[in-house]
Amino acid sequence: MPSMMKQARRKIDSALCSPSVAGPVSRLITSHLRKRLEGTRWTSDGKEALAEHVQAGNGVIMVLWHGRLPAAPIGWDTDWGKLCVVTSAAIPGRMVGRVMGQFGHDTIPMRERKANTGTSLQIARMVRGGTSIGFAADGPLGPARKAKSVPIDWARLTGAQIWLFTASYRNYSCVKAWDRMALPISGDEGIMLYRRWDAEIPKKLGADMRETLRQRLEDDLNALTLEADQRMGHETLIN
């Protein structure tokens, strides 16, 4: 039985890798997500400051939690400039990439538990050229709201600003997954918060300082996310 299950899983994975299957599935997901996002009455805080910085030709590193990804496609205005979203190279990540692509954003896959040196250098070149990078700090598989140090390393390498992004909703539903991904319920309010991360990142970064900055990034992103949730009437984090 386990071998049969593995064979079935491989067939499903193979099908989802096929453009003839992945394309329609991603369009279905995009259509559902777009209806929810367009049916939400949005307010924002900090958006103008980010737009001004980016439109001056500066690429930034935009960091959020995986559980707040559904708002990301419209959290970045394509009129500002290019956004390239870093996704997992696994099938779910590639599906996220397809969805983001239908909102006008570029994507680049990274493999979990591998050095990804070539990809990191490519990202550095993109940022220096004015392209911004979107990254879920706890992706692709968690633990939820446990930040990785990757954005800090990219910022040190490129000199680009890190911007924190989050979103919350008055009414919402959560996906049954490791991150309890939150989706807005159409017809109600939502909020998007943008905040420049003001931590100073030294050129030379030892292990202790990297961990200190990683923890601060995690704490600050959690604080911003809690602020968004509270402004939508929730006492604690919704996911």
> With the CA atoms of 169, 171, 176 and 178 taken in that order, what torsion angle do they form, in degrees rounded to the nearest 10?
30
Q: How does pLDDT run across 198-210, given as a tens digit for each residue?
A: 999 999 999 999 9
Please tell me which residue, 115 or 211, carries the higher pLDDT value.
211
Question: What pLDDT shows up at residue 112?
Answer: 65
Please tell me which residue, 111 or 215, carries the higher pLDDT value.
215
Q: For 37, how many CA atoms within 13 A lie in the half-sphere containing its CB? A: 17
Question: What pLDDT shows up at residue 92?
Answer: 79
CA–CA separation, 12 and 2 (whole Å)? 15
Q: How far is CA 224 from CA 4, 17, 110, in A?
A: 46, 36, 26
Mean pLDDT, the chain, integer: 90
Q: How does pLDDT run across 151-194, given as a tens digit for each residue?
A: 999 999 999 999 999 999 999 999 999 999 999 999 999 999 99
Question: What pLDDT shows up at residue 110?
Answer: 82
Whether 38 shows a pLDDT value over 80: the answer reads yes
Whether 12 shows a pLDDT value over 50: the answer reads no
CATH numbers and ranges of domains, the chain: 2-231 (3.40.1130)
Whether 1 shows a pLDDT value over 50: the answer reads no
CA–CA separation, 49 and 67 (whole Å)? 24
Please tell me which residue, 9 or 22, carries the higher pLDDT value.
22
Question: What pLDDT shows up at residue 57?
Answer: 95
CA–CA separation, 183 and 71 (whole Å)? 8
Question: What pLDDT shows up at residue 116?
Answer: 65
| 4 pLDDT tier (thresholds 50, 70, 90) | very low
Whether 18 shows a pLDDT value over 70: the answer reads no
Q: How does pLDDT run across 68-90, given as a tens digit for each residue?
A: 999 999 999 999 999 999 998 88
Q: What angle do CA 99, 120, 29 make, to 5 degrees?
A: 10
